[in-house]
Chain A
Amino acid sequence: DIQMTQSPASLSVSVGETVTITCRASENIYSNLAWYQQKQGKSPQLLVYAATNLADGVPSRFSGSGSGTQYSLKINSLQSEDFGSYYCQHFWGTPWTFGGGTKLEIK
């Protein structure tokens, strides 16, 4: 099974700051990676697919990058609505595992 190591596990930031969350796969996943945002008590929402493609309706301050085993989600100029948890997920062969999550909190 491919393991997804996500970091950091938690992050305390202020509105307006820029943050980067990373996911490292235990083997090459050839950009078969998605990022999700989950707010407390809500279902996850797709932000990025195929490592770099923004899902419909996702603000341009979000961006995905990476290749091989290393991937990142960058959020420029954090807004109050961006706080919550973020997860990566690979799609390179089953099981489709998720990263452990990053909890983004307001400083």
Chain B
Amino acid sequence: QVTLKESGPGILQPSQTLSLTCSFSGFSLSTSNMGVGWIRQPSGKGLEWLLHILWNDSKYYNPALKSRLTISKDTYNNQVFLKIANVDTADTATYYCARITEGRGLYAMDYWGQGTSVTVSS
């Protein structure tokens, strides 16, 4: 059974660094063709893909945010970490992590976490 769960600070102040953790089970990031991505959704709005990391440690970033994003993984403990530097109110959103599977060059985000709400406020 595949599960993912996001955790984070809930609230932080502008200019701080947001640190989120995705803890997962039921799959391994040491398995080829697996990955974990981060997606966010401001309240009442659409989905925005942020970045993802693959089993071979390849990393892909949304260029609109790339300078502020960092992703890493702890394969042994089944965790993926996201950092967003210098946050402002526009980063207020629900943040999801999702498993990525790839087969014959075709991708899907087939399992999602429940999401964690992040509010940036002074």
Query: When each residue 101-119 of chain B gets 1 if its CB lies under 8 Å from chain A and 0 otherwise, what string results?
Result: 0000111111111110000
Query: Are A55 and B110 in touch, CB under 8 angstroms?
Result: yes
Q: How far is the CA of A31 from the CA of B61 in the complex (A)?
A: 22
Q: Does residue A89 face the partner (Cβ distance < 8 Å to B)?
A: yes
Query: Are B113 and A43 in touch, CB under 8 angstroms?
Result: yes
A31, A43, A46, A98: the one contacting B46 at CB < 8 Å is A98
| Given pairs A50-B106, A101-B47, 9 additional interface contacts (CB within 8 A) | A1-B63, A43-B113, A49-B106, A50-B108, A55-B108, A91-B106, A96-B49, A98-B49, A101-B46
Q: Does residue A8 face the partner (Cβ distance < 8 Å to B)?
A: no
Q: How far is the CA of A32 from the CA of B108 in the complex (A)?
A: 9
Chain A residue nearest to B114 in the complex (CB)? A43
Q: How far is the CA of A89 from the CA of B46 in the complex (A)?
A: 11
Chain B residue nearest to A97 in the complex (CB)? B49
**Which residues of chain B have C-beta atoms less than 8 A from A89's C-beta?**
47, 49, 109
Query: When each residue 83-122 of chain B gets 1 if its CB lies under 8 Å from chain A and 0 otherwise, what string results?
Result: 0000000000000100000000111111111110000000
**Number of B residues with CB within 8 Å of any CB on chain A:** 24
Q: How far is the CA of A79 from the CA of B18 in the complex (A)?
A: 40
In the A-B complex, the 3 residue pairs with the smallest Cβ-Cβ separation, listed nearest first, are A49-B108, A91-B107, A43-B112
Residues of B within 8 A of A (CB): 37, 39, 46-49, 52, 60-64, 96, 105-115
Q: How far is the CA of A96 from the CA of B39 in the complex (A)?
A: 10
Q: How far is the CA of A100 from the CA of B49 in the complex (A)?
A: 12
**Which residues of chain A have C-beta atoms less than 8 A from B114's C-beta?**
42-43
Query: When each residue 31-74 of chain A gets 1 if its CB lies under 8 Å from chain B and 0 otherwise, what string results?
Result: 11010100000111110011000010000000000000000000
